[in-house]
Amino acid sequence: MGIKVLKPTTPTARHTVLIDRSELHKGQPLKSLVSKLNSKAGRNNTGKTTMRHQGAGVKKQYRIVDFKRDKLDIPAVVERLEYDPNRSAFLALLKYADGERRYIIAPDTLTVGTEIKSTAAEAPIQVGNNMPLAKIPQGTFVHSVEVMPGQGAVVGRSAGTMIQVMGGDKGYIQLRMPSGEIRLVSEECRATIGNVSNPDHKNVKLGSAGRNRRKGVRPTVRGVAMSYIHPHGAGQGKSGRHGTGGPAKDLWGNKVGKRTRRHRRVTSKFIVRRRPETNAFKKYKTVI
């Protein structure tokens, strides 16, 4: 769909880059496929703030998305493409041959009127078709992948994401994840052909604080602008109490780049190759 650059008539518009949604459905979502979504504002059940910088924002309804794609061997036609305020990807409304309608994560390049289906057997390698990983050729890019058979898609669901099928044997398929990690997944797990829609999401620049507030994001204060309550706070000028030295830390004193994955996780044995180390982790590796 591309991006939309505004004319520089104001300082805000000069730097604003938005997604062009002219091809999306302009009406309300299908009433039978939405449910109430309460605003938590970053609070838990006792009212305590457990996630900072959340609050206010425009009210939203949750779109019920079919992540399992368990309506097998019944062709469906893409009725329309829709915007979903709860995720970065777009949604596609499918109308099945028996009249039922369901939302799915829309693949990129999928157009209105295209016929797709979900199957347990051999099927054409067509964008939008859903099938077990054992039936997908090596080198194919997929998204909305299950990790456990029948669980429903849990990885590869955000805008522009693609996962490459690397082949495999003994009941497992190797997948190259977007992070570069190579992971084993059961060949019975299902995946959808193609990459996720809205790949230009990463290029968006909201341009104004007000647009961010309407998305439910509250202001964020820099650590060096705080008092001694923050590891970067206090001190003279902009230096903070640590001056220009010392590793970057968060509010709770954890160093940037510290690995947070729990030890002895059950799924660790399925990782064939770890993702490459980030620059932040390499920089502070010696002090962790």
Q: What is the pLDDT of residue 241?
A: 62
Lowest pLDDT segment from 9-13, 130-134, 247-251, 284-288: 284-288
Q: Are 132 and 144 contacting, i.e. CB atoms less than 8 angstroms apart?
A: no
Q: What is the pLDDT of residue 2?
A: 85
Average pLDDT, the chain: 88
Question: How many residues does this entry show for the chain?
Answer: 288
Those residues whose C-beta lies under 8 Å from the C-beta of residue 217, and which sit 6 or more positions away, are 53, 54, 57
What would the pLDDT profile of 57-81 be if each residue is shown by its tens digit? 999 999 999 999 999 999 999 999 9
- Kindly state the tokens that stand for 254: 């954890």
- Kindly state the tokens that stand for 12: 């805000």
Among 148, 145, 150, 151, smallest CA distance to 165 is for 145
What would the pLDDT profile of 121-177 be if each residue is shown by its tens digit? 888 899 999 999 999 999 999 999 999 999 999 999 999 999 999 988 888 999 999
Q: What is the pLDDT of residue 234?
A: 80
Q: What is the pLDDT of residue 279?
A: 58
- Kindly state the tokens that stand for 119: 């199957």
In the predicted structure, residue 240 carries a pLDDT above the cut 90:
no
Dihedral class, residue 42 (left if φ above 0, else alpha if ψ from -120 to 50, else beta): left
- Kindly state the tokens that stand for 205: 């620049």
What confidence category does residue 47 fall into, taking pLDDT thresholds of 50, 70 and 90? very high
Q: Which residue has the higher pLDDT, 82 or 279?
A: 82
Between CA 73 and CA 68 the distance in angstroms is 14
Q: How do strand 182-186 and strand 172-176 relate by DSSP bridges?
A: antiparallel
What is the value of pTM for the model shown? Answer: 0.85
CATH 4.10.950.10 fits 221-288, yes or no: yes
Q: What is the pLDDT of residue 13?
A: 93
Give mean pLDDT, residues 90-118: 95
Q: What is the pLDDT of residue 283?
A: 52
What confidence category does residue 284 fall into, taking pLDDT thresholds of 50, 70 and 90? very low
Domain limits, the chain: 221-288
Cβ neighbours, 10 Å, residue 70: 12
Q: What is the pLDDT of residue 286?
A: 43
Among 67, 65, 48, 88, smallest CA distance to 196 is for 88
Among 173, 193, 195, 194, smallest CA distance to 183 is for 173
Between CA 84 and CA 29 the distance in angstroms is 9
What confidence category does residue 190 fall into, taking pLDDT thresholds of 50, 70 and 90? very high
